[in-house]
Structure 1
Amino acid sequence: MATNAEIAGRFEEFADLLEADDVEYKPRAYRRAAENVRSHPTPIADYVAADDREAIEGIEGVGDAIASKIVEYVETGAIEELEELRAALPIDIADITRIEGVGPKTAGKLYRELGIETLDDLEAAAEAGEIQAVKGFGPKTEQNIRDNLEFAREVGQRHLLGEGRPLADDVLAYLEDLETVERCEVAGSIRRWRETIGDVDVLAATDAPEAVVEAFVDWGSVGSEIESGPAKASVRIGEIRVDLRVVAPEEFGSALQYFTGSKDHNVRLRNYAIDQGMKLNEYGAFDVSDLEDAEDGQRVGDRVAGDTEAGMYEALGLSWMPPELREDRGEIPAAENGELPDLLARDDVRGDLHTHTEWSDGNDTVAEMVAAAAERGYDYFAVADHAEGPGVVGGMGLSNEEILAQVDVVREVDADTEIEVFTGIEANVDASGDIGLSEDVIEALDVVVASPHSGLDQDAETATDRLVRAIENPAVDVLGHPSGRLLNERSGLAFDAAELGRAAAEHGTALEVNSNPRRLDLWGSAVQAAIEEGAPIAVNTDAHRTTTLEFMRWGVHTARRGWAEPADVINTWELEELRTFLH
């Protein structure tokens, strides 16, 4: 069954190929449809199965023509018009546009001038010095392409957490309904909430392994079977590979610990166990202190744990460690010393300080966004539409006059709701670190989020200086998505996270964990480095419609990967404490 993300991906490809072919207007329509399809809360394939054309066309940005293409893709697995476009422009557009600074128009020009279709073609042309000879290019562009090829190849093999985790939840729900399954859980990087994943790993405890494997392979959502055996199977659902491993119930805990990883965490933990005369593997924890050869066999020694994951750690005198921490960044010594953090939880979040409305590039009104926030039980909420400036998509940023006009609207909505509504803006951090807001605008606003949207190819030292300058600006409350990265699309700015953390702590500026699953910026290790310097953190959704307020889920788990506790995160604070921080 085609997922929403898969359908959205086809329309994003449509948009890119049309733009590469110098077609105007249509690409924007396809991108808008793709964004709304991707974030739609209901599987659109269900509408197709129910022949509910009205529901399909009820999705914003989806008219009759695009709805017909959705039906065609769900029913046949292809869109004839897209296939024709691919034949006319045989470019690996998704791969090539992952190169920083290479957009669809650039890809189209390189195809027409040099016949470049793939990353390999691009690399060969760059190495031969052919790209700098094309009009409008030069040595710097050619070097940039060479520098970014490795990134483009690596991310092309991975999927966004925001695409993989909902699929994993569906797999778990299906397995939990099987009478033969006693317990099941995801494992691997998806359980650690890493921002991108290679595939979805699932464990199931059962006394009937072959029956579970057969039921899994026969599941209606499975697109194709890759391989299967008595105790494991691999299938493809949409574009994502799902690997199931079935284990005996008494070994479920040890298998879960082992297959969750990370590899570095497990190596460190096994070495810790060896020092205590213990042996850990996927079958359990074994006391081998009385054995001469502890490496001979997987189930050698006295088995002291394995039915639960917590028992595996307890056997070593350690506290259970949340999966998000298992990256070998100090979690084992912290568990040994009773110093594991009391991690942020979703229910700790009291509000969202970075959201958008139809005033800029959002979809819903101020009142609709605020009402949705109130329904979530938030105490406060900020509207932070784009200010005009470099890098704002489609030139949809607000002028100073428009910002002041919106302030009046937000104040009216605030007066008519029980939650506190802050006036705000997402200003642009330009290449030098300035934010470009007038003093009267700054005075009128409660929250200024300042984010980089352009000039994302600076070296790490220049980028760090640029972001620190924005942090030091007394008007800035939150440094938004500091790297400007888009996962699997562009790498964004490199910077010294500890230096940003020191500046943020000194100047009372929060560093954002942007919860959009295409960003997750800051990321775990950067959050940890910033918190160690005393920096305050803000976990915001960057929501552009009411449904994407749900993105908070991804941001919370990303902050947890950075060891964030509730006190570290400003939007867990009581209203008065937050108001004091902002002013």
Structure 2
Amino acid sequence: MTTNAELAARFEEFADLLEADGVEYKPRAYRRAAENIRAHPAPIADRIEAGDREAVENIDGVGDAISSKVIEYVETGTIEELEDLRSELPIDIADITRIEGVGPKTAGKLYRELGVQTLDDLEAAAEAGEVQEVKGFGPKTEQNILENLEFARTVGQRQLLGEARPLADDVLAFLESIDAVERCEVAGSIRRWRETIGDVDVLAATDAGEDVVEAFVGWDSVDDEIESGPEKASVRVGESRVDLRVVVPEEFGAALQYFTGSKDHNVALRNYAIDREMKLNEYGAFDVSSEALRASSSRTESDDDIEDPESGQRVGERVAGETEDGMYEALGLPWIPPELRTDRGEIAAAERGELPALLVRDDIRGDLHTHTEWSDGNTDVAAMVEAAAERGYDYFGIADHAEGPGIVGGMGLSDAEILEYAEEVRAVGEEAEIEVFAGIEANVDADGEIDLSEEVIETLDVIVASTHSALDQDAETATERLVHALENPAIDVLGHPSGRLLNERSGLEFDATALGEAAAEHDTALEVNSNPRRLDLWGSAVQAALEKGAPISINTDSHRPATLEYMRWGVHTARRGWAEPDDVINTWGLADLREFLH
């Protein structure tokens, strides 16, 4: 099955190679098409296979030329023009451009000047001092390449949560349609809502394991069977690997706890169990106290006194395993949400009865950072506001880009344009069913300053300030820069603080505790940017900031109505940081939020 994410990846590669080849304008069109294809709510391949080719042309940014290439890829698995480009520029463009500061044009120049095709080629050239000899480069650029090679090599091995989770939901829906499956759930990092995942892990409870495995590998969406056996199977769906494990229903809870992880959480929980004369494994929770073992040796085998599948030895009474809640209850603990299972104090908090009452999606009452066609969005103000109202929001903020460093293609607004844009936002707001905030996304420069006039600052309702440039600063400099921005009374929200793009660039490193202290002191929110390519702040940084009393804002950074759904990823990311509803300013009522927005 060709997924929307797979199609988008092909056109992103197309755009990068065209840019590397020096082509103007066309790359931007391909990137816009890729973004819209990725965000399309329905599987595009299904429409093509059903004979509805016109549906492709109706996608924003996909005209006749790109539409024909989409259809060509779905039907043949290749695009002839892309293959020609790959032959002309045999560059591992996705890998090389993951290095901070190396874009497609730079990659093309390195290929033409030094023959660099792979990360290994680039490393050899940099170590030999050849990169700094290329016009436009220098020792600093060469050193930056060497320092970022490890990141570029490792980051591409994992898939974005926002791409993998929808596939996981499809897998669960298929398994639930099988009569023999009593229960099923995702496991592993995808259940913990980690920002990137390796494989899609799924667990199913059934007394007919072989039949379920057979049905799974025969699923219409499966492209290739990697391996299968009586208790597990691995398949490829699009560009993703999906691993299924089947267990008997009475062991489902134990297996779900075990295979959800994380490894650190499981080790800590097993040690906690040992201290209480209990044993945990994927088959259940066992009482291994001296009393239980004596009782075991003095009676015949029964359902509650079983052989440990790991060791083959008789153990004490099996006290839990059918449900995951029961595995924690056997230790005297409440169930710990998967997002918290990172060994960052969750077991001790559970023991004290102090686990957070985590935020849920329905707590969100608005979105404060979105874009329209005034800058780099794909639709108008009215359409975005209407989409927000349809989602049941109480309020909604438009924050298009101000001009400044790091804004590609001159898409940012000047002060005069901002004033004009704010008038339109307010005019739409007067007719809307919900409260509409006129905002801006300002640019935090290398020194932590923003470039907005006093008139603009006084005019706007909300100012989001974000980093878009100078993302190679060291941690100390970056922390000082971001803290200085938080000290600016005009700024309401510090947007995507690191500026990272998952699997593309690492962004800034900084002291999240220091940011939390500054945000709390100056009453400025730190953003959890919900775009699945950002998820910035991330769980541990949110937790560090919340411990210092910082307010959080979860926003989608949407550029079209469909991507307002990104809020799902931001909420779970904030949950990984132990966020409760009151910690998040866009769960507050309108009056409280207005008071916060200085």
Whether these two folds match at TM > 0.5 is yes
- Give the match's secondary structure for 1:184: strand
Matched to 2:154, the amino acid is: E
Per the TM alignment, residue 343 of structure 1 is displaced from its structure 2 partner at its CA by 0.3
The residue type paired with residue 252 of structure 1 is F
User: Which whole-Å CA distance do the structure 2 matches of 1:299 and 1:57 have between them?
Assistant: 65
Where structure 1 has 5 or more consecutive residues not aligned to the other structure, the ranges are none
- Counterpart check, 1:467 vs 2:477: no
In the alignment, what sits opposite 1:440?
Answer: 455
Amino acid at match of 1:479: L
Is 1:283–1:299's contact at 8 Å kept on the other side of the alignment?
Answer: no
Structure 1 match to 2:319: 304
Q: What does 1:33-72 correspond to in 2, within 5 Å?
A: 33-72=33-72
Match of residue 572 from structure 1: 587
**Aligned equivalent of 2:302:** none
Displacement of 1:88 in angstroms is: 1.1
What SS is found at the alignment partner of 1:571? helix
| Conserved? CA contact 1:175–1:184, under 8 Å | yes
2:340 corresponds in structure 1 to: 325
Q: 1:397 aligns with which of 412, 417, 427?
A: 412
Distance 1:207 1:540 in 2: 44
Letter in 2 for 1:432: D
Shift of 1:349: 0.3
Give the 5 Å matches for 1:363-442.
363-442=378-457
Supply the distance in 2 between the matched residues of 1:23 and 1:411 (Cα, whole angstroms). Answer: 39
Instruction: Report what 1:182 is aligned to.
Output: 182
The equivalent residue for 1:346 is 361
Partner residue of 1:499?
A: 514
Q: Is the partner of 2:235 in helix, strand or coil? A: strand
Q: Distance in 1 between matches of 2:51 and 2:467?
A: 44
Using the size of structure 2 for normalisation, the TM-score is 0.96
Whole-Å separation in 2 of the counterparts to 1:523 and 1:393: 25
Tell me the equivalent position of 2:220. 220
Counterpart of 1:544 in 2: which secondary structure?
A: coil
Asked if 1:356 corresponds to 2:371, the answer is: yes
2-side partners of 1:439 and 1:299: how far apart?
76
1:504-519 map, 5 Å: 504-519=519-534
- The alignment of Structure 1 onto Structure 2 pairs a total of residues equal to 583
Dislocated runs of 4+, deviation >2 Å: 290-301
Alpha-carbon distance between aligned partners in 2 of 1:199 and 1:366, rounded to the nearest angstrom:
39
Q: Using the alignment, how far apart are the partners of 2:590 and 2:60 within structure 1? A: 34
* CA–CA separation in structure 2 for the residues paired with 1:148 and 1:571: 36
Aligned match of 1:206: 206
Give the partner amino acid of 1:153.
R
Q: Compared with structure 1, are the counterparts of its residues 299 and 404 closer, same or farther at alpha carbon in structure 2 (3 Å cutoff)?
A: farther
1:97 is displaced (CA, Å) by 0.4
Is contact 1:356–1:362 with CA below 8 Å preserved after alignment?
yes
Q: Secondary structure at 2:506's aligned position in 1?
A: coil
User: 2:304 — aligned with what?
Assistant: none
Whole-angstrom distance in 1 between the partners of 2:29 and 2:427: 32
What is the root-mean-square deviation in Å for CA atoms of aligned residues? 1.1
- The CA distance in 2 between the partners of 1:416 and 1:525, in whole Å, is 41
Separation of aligned partners in 2, 1:172 and 1:271: 32
Residue 297 of structure 1: how far off its partner (Å)? 3.6
Letter in 1 for 2:99: I
Q: Following TM superposition, by how much is the alpha carbon of 1:300 offset from its aligned partner in structure 2, in angstroms? A: 2.9
Return the offset for 1:108.
0.6
Q: 1:281–1:298: 8 Å Cα contact kept in structure 2?
A: no
Are residues 467 and 147 of structure 1, via their aligned partners in 2, closer, same or farther at CA, if it must alter by over 3 Å?
same
Change (3 A) 1:329 1:54: same
The one-letter code of the counterpart of 1:349 is I
* Higher deviation after alignment, 572-581 or 63-72: 63-72
Q: SS at the partner of 1:244? A: strand
Deviations 1:468-516 (A, max 9, x none): 1111100000000000000000000000000000000000000000000
**Partner amino acid, structure 2, of 1:173:** A
Runs (5+) with no aligned partner, structure 2: 298-307
Determine if contact 1:520/1:555 at 8 Å carries over to the other structure: yes
Q: What SS class does the counterpart of residue 315 from structure 2 fall into?
A: coil
Partners of 2:139 and 2:418 in 1: CA distance? 41
**Contact between 1:513 and 1:539, CA under 8 Å: does it hold in 2?**
yes
Name the structure 2 match of 1:160: 160
Residues in 2 aligned to 1:7 and 1:418: alpha-carbon distance in whole angstroms: 37
The normalised TM-score by structure 1 is 0.99
Q: 1:418 offset after TM fit, Å? A: 2.1
CA contact (8 A) 1:353 1:381 kept: yes
Q: Report the Cα distance in structure 2 between the residues aligned to 1:410 and 1:32, rounded to whole angstroms.
A: 24
Pick the aligned partner of 1:477 from 492, 512, 536: 492
Contact 1:524–1:562 (8 Å) recurs in 2: yes
Q: Deviations over 1:429-462 (max 9, x none)?
A: 0000111000000000110000000000000000
The reply on whether 1:543 has 2:537 as its aligned counterpart is no
Matched with 2:570 is 555
Percent of aligned pairs sharing the same letter: 80
Q: Distance in 2 between matches of 1:299 and 1:11?
A: 58
| Displacement after TM superposition at 1:126 (Å) | 1.3
1:258 corresponds in structure 2 to 258
Distance, in Å, in 2 between the alignment partners of 1:441 and 1:145 is 39
The one-letter code sitting in structure 1 at the alignment partner of 2:474 is D
CA distance in 1, matches of 2:228, 2:362: 40
Q: Deviations over 1:82-119 (max 9, x none)?
A: 11111111100000000000000111111111111111
Partner SS, residue 285 of structure 2:
strand
SS at match of 1:549: helix
Partner in structure 2 of residue 117 of structure 1: 117
- Matched residue SS, 1:167: helix
Q: Give the aligned partner of residue 23 of structure 1.
A: 23
Q: Please state whether the residue corresponding to 1:246 is helix, strand or coil.
A: strand
- From 497, 505, 529, the equivalent of 1:490 is 505
Q: How far apart, CA to CA, are the structure 2 residues paired with 1:51 and 1:118?
A: 39
User: Distance in 1 between the 2:576 and 2:380 partners?
Assistant: 33
Report the residue type matching 1:305 in the other structure. Answer: A
For 1:205 and 1:275, locate their aligned partners in 2 and report how far apart those are by CA, in whole Å.
30
- 2:10 & 2:148 partners in 1: Cα distance? 24
Give the residue type in structure 2 aligned to 1:475.
A
